[in-house]
Structures are given as structure tokens and as C-alpha cells.
Amino acid sequence: MSVRISIPTALRGFAEGQAAVEVDGNTAGEALHALTSRFPGLSKHLRTEDGKLRSFVNVYLNEDDIRHLEREATPLKSGDALTIVPAIAGGR
């Protein structure tokens, strides 16, 4: 099933400049895998060396953080939207 993944500005350079892409996946994890298979340069920004989603990368299914659902096992349905939101640190 097709879902739309929104890519943040900071990572678009690793996705051929695209703001969003359509991928297939039954779960959030499958969709993210499809995204990084298509754009391998994104992988190191989204996942640790052991394949886990980085702690500072937030992924939302529609308006819900997947960490509060079933994480990467969160089921998707056609027409869903995933949004990648990397945490930004700053200040003094």
C-alpha cells in the first residue's frame, strides 16, 4: 500500500531534493526501509549502525508519534502520511 513520507528540509539533499515521496509499506518500519532503500544516503541520518531508529529522529503517522503507537511495527493504511522530524538542539 502506498504512503507518503514527508522529508524535512535538512535531509532533502539525501533524497534528491524531494520534500515528500510515495513508498509502499504495511508498517512504519517497512515504509522507512523502502525510503532508505530508494535513498541510501538517508539511512545514516535515520538509523544507528545496528539498524535502530535514532533517538533524535521523530516519526509521525498522520498526527501521532509512532513511539506512542507500535513504533516501527505501527500498521499503515493506504493514504496515510508519515512525517520525519529530526530533533534540533541549540541554545547556550
Interval 17-74: pLDDT, tens: 999 999 999 999 999 999 999 999 999 999 999 999 998 999 999 999 999 999 999 9
Structural domain boundaries, residue 52? 2-86
Q: Indicate the number of domains in the chain.
A: 1
- pTM summary value: 0.91
Q: What is the dihedral of CA 30, 40, 43, 9, to 10 degrees?
A: -100
Residue type, 39: F
The verdict on residue 91 lying in a domain is: no
The verdict on residue 92 lying in a domain is: no
Asked if the model's pLDDT at residue 91 lies above 60, the reply is no
The verdict on residue 9 lying in a domain is: yes
Looking at residue 42, which CATH number applies to its domain? 3.10.20.30
In the numeric block, which cell numbers belong to residue 16?
A: 534528491
Q: Binning pLDDT at 50, 70 and 90, where does residue 87 land?
A: confident
